[in-house]
Amino acid sequence: MSQAKAKAALPFINLFARYLREQGLPVTHQREAVAKVVFGSEEHLSVDEIEGRLREEGNRIGKATIYRTLDLLVKSRLVEEHDFGEGFKRYEHRLSRQPIHEHLICVECGKVQEFRSDEVQVVEDRVEEELGFVPQRHRLEIYGLCKECHESGVSLEDGGLSCPIETV
Ligand SMILES: [Zn+2]
Ligand SMILES: [Zn+2]
């Protein structure tokens, strides 16, 4: 991890440490190391990726500890958990550069991109105005092909049933 990223992560590690103390939980080196990887990244990291980065830094931390720490990070509301239907979860720093953003998920290579949508804000405002529903949060995920996969000639296949009528 670069010096700049490690430095940027520090205030959030301190917030997490405060959360742990408030919960009566010990602030261990392992918990701090896991938090530092998540806070030092603007990506959507899987547990495997987090484990790999910890190992690169010379930290050998077991998966069970990583899972437990991520669970605490999510409960502290500093980290958001995503399930993009890949069979595993991804984690991202909630207070990173772009606090409110939507996700584009490539079904071919698994790349997750972020984009901002002012239109969704308009929809939230409209819902409140027309239905009296007060929006708190939303989730918008668009699945498809990223630019690179599309340009390399991958095409999307519709994997559904070709005939929806029961024939047996
Ligand atoms: Zn792709
Ligand atoms: Zn994101």
Residues 83 and 70 placed together within one structural domain of the fold: yes
Looking at residue 160, its pLDDT comes to 62
Does any domain span residue 143?
Answer: yes
Residues 16 and 34 placed together within one structural domain of the fold: yes
- Tell me the residue range of the domain where 116 lies: 100-155
Last residue in a domain, options 95, 112, 133: 95
Least confident of 4-8, 16-20, 150-154: 4-8
CA of 108 to the centre of ligand 1 (A): 5
* Distance of alpha carbon 160 from alpha carbon 117, whole angstroms: 30
Question: pTM score, two decimals?
Answer: 0.80
Residues 107 and 88 placed together within one structural domain of the fold: no
Does any domain span residue 163?
Answer: no
Residues 2 and 48 placed together within one structural domain of the fold: yes
CA of 117 to the centre of ligand 1 (A): 21
Strand order from edge to edge, sheet including 79-83: 45-46, 89-93, 79-83
Residues 62 and 109 placed together within one structural domain of the fold: no
Looking at residue 23, its pLDDT comes to 96
Residues 82 and 150 placed together within one structural domain of the fold: no
CATH value at residue 50: 1.10.10.10
For residue 162, pLDDT beyond 90:
no
Residues 68 and 16 placed together within one structural domain of the fold: yes
Residues 79 and 7 placed together within one structural domain of the fold: yes
CA of 129 to the centre of ligand 2 (A): 28
Does any domain span residue 1?
Answer: yes
Residues 35 and 77 placed together within one structural domain of the fold: yes
The number of domains in the chain is 2
Residues 111 and 84 placed together within one structural domain of the fold: no
Residues 3 and 72 placed together within one structural domain of the fold: yes
Q: Which residues of 14-46 are buried (b: 16+ CB within 10 A; e: fewer)?
A: ebbeebbeeeeeeeeebbbbbbbbbbbbeebbb
Residues 15 and 66 placed together within one structural domain of the fold: yes
pLDDT in tens, 93-135: 987 666 678 999 999 999 999 998 889 989 999 999 999 999 9
CA of 158 to the centre of ligand 1 (A): 17
pLDDT in tens, 27-38: 999 999 999 999
* Distance of alpha carbon 59 from alpha carbon 102, whole angstroms: 32
Last residue in a domain, options 73, 95, 117: 95
